[in-house]
A and B are shown apart, each in its own frame.
Chain A
Amino acid sequence: MCNICGCGHGEVTMEGKDNKKSDEYQTYLGQSEACFHTAGVEPSRIFEIEKDILTKNKHTAAHNRQHLKADDILALNFVSSPGSGKTTLLVETIKVLKEKKTIAVIEGDQQTSADAERIRKVGVQSLQINTGRGCHLDADMIHQAMHKLDMPLGGYLFIENVGNLVCPAGFDLGEAHKVVVVSTTEGEDKPLKYPDMFAASSLMIINKKDLIPHLNIDIKTLKENARKVNPHIAIIALSAQTGEGMDSWLKWLDGAKMMAQANQ
């Protein structure tokens, strides 16, 4: 301890350690019996923090996940660029499932409640989150939304993220899986251009399959590109509009639900 001002740097016992970079201060430490430290001038300290910058979001996401698990709800986070057909896919999925399963939908968009209204029209509760200038949903928005919804016990919670292939990749919402939707009109190189999203997703849905004859797209290359980024990604090609391929998607949903229950 400094004898003059009693600044007590040597008593720091928490995560901090002495500032090894400051030679000047090291000198003070060496002369602790009669140091020249001027009262009121604080020496610097270094704290080793080693904390994830997204700690708070991850904590809230884990909390959401616990809620969902307790209520036996499979939550999926749908991500894509704008216009891939996420809402149409949800509407068509809900039409098939709503008699057998309880479902709720959380819609994320910068503005308007158009998507939530489309979902409500098919008879399922839906809550719109407008992110304003925000480019993604985060775990706290979902937490708040979950408290406003009647939770679909034993069923599905579909979260339609903001149409954006970049930012939502990094934000865990507490979902069981991210499902990335890419439409045939977007070309085959999206997985290589926006790899984080495809790396973070469990399933890639190739939507608008019915348009393939009119387009210059190589579906095989699209699939290969997705697997270059994520060797374990499941892939289903379908058309939400015509219904082609919807069976495979519904089977995948069933499987994901069973896996979630088996992991309870």
Chain B
Amino acid sequence: MHEVSLANSLVELIEAQAKVENFLQVKEIIVEVGKLSHVEPKALSFAFEIAKTAIMSNAKLIILEPCGRAYCLSCEKTVPIEKRGEPCSYCKSYQIIVQEGVELKLKSLEVV
């Protein structure tokens, strides 16, 4: 449900950018939602459809989902992880520190 707040924040960011850069229509919005972030991409897309304003009414929202990566304190490797609560895929230790996959970012805008 917090995806509604996030969609509103996304719309605010785009509107602020439109004021600075003087564009009138957004064609494409690229957003990064890490696989370990607290956001459900489908819910964000749905919420964005409700939150969007006139300048982005025809925009295509593309959500990239970077994979999770963590540093394992036990085997001292950077390892991929699918979800939180999983052990290191090499040594099965849970002493891992998540480093990537928590992104929640507006990456780029294509505008006219």
Residues of A participating in the B interface, judged by any CB pair closer than 8 Å: 14-16, 19, 21, 42-57, 134-136, 138, 166-167, 169-171, 191-192, 195-196, 199, 225, 227-229, 231
Contact = CB atoms under 8 A, between A and B. Distances in A.
19 contacts: A44-B27, A44-B110, A44-B111, A45-B112, A47-B21, A47-B108, A49-B107, A50-B107, A51-B13, A166-B38, A170-B2, A170-B38, A171-B2, A195-B83, A196-B38, A199-B84, A228-B85, A228-B86, A228-B87
Contacts of A229: 84-85
A135 B110 CA distance: 32
Task: Kindly name the residue among B24, B86, B108 whose own CB sees the greatest number of chain A CB atoms within 10 A.
Answer: B108
A229 to B, nearest CB: 5
B49 interface: no
Contacts of B37: 170
Given A227-B94, A228-B85, A53 B104 contact: yes
B95 to A, nearest CB: 5
Interface size class of B (residues with CB under 8 A): 35 or more
Given A49-B13, A51-B105, A51-B106, A167 B2 contact: yes
Interface in B58-88: 73, 83-87
Contacts of B73: 231
A228 B85 CA distance: 5
A138 B5 contact: yes
A171 B38 CA distance: 10
B98 interface: yes
Contacts of A49: 13, 17, 106-109
B96 interface: yes
B9 interface: yes
A49 B84 CA distance: 28
Contacts of A191: 85
A16 to B, nearest CB: 7
A130 B111 CA distance: 38
Query: SS class of chain B's interface: helix, strand, loop or mixed?
Result: mixed
A45 B106 contact: no
B90 interface: no
A10 to B, nearest CB: 16
B58 to A, nearest CB: 12
Contact of B105 (A50, A167, A199): A50
A14 B5 CA distance: 29
B84 A195 contact: yes
A228 to B, nearest CB: 5
B105 A52 contact: yes
A170 B110 CA distance: 28
A49 B109 CA distance: 7
B50 interface: no
Interface string B13-36: 100010011011001000100000
A180 to B, nearest CB: 14
A49 B103 CA distance: 14
Given A135-B1, A195-B84, A225-B85, A47 B95 contact: no
B21 A14 contact: yes
Contacts of A228: 85-87, 94
B6 interface: yes
B32 to A, nearest CB: 9
B41 to A, nearest CB: 12
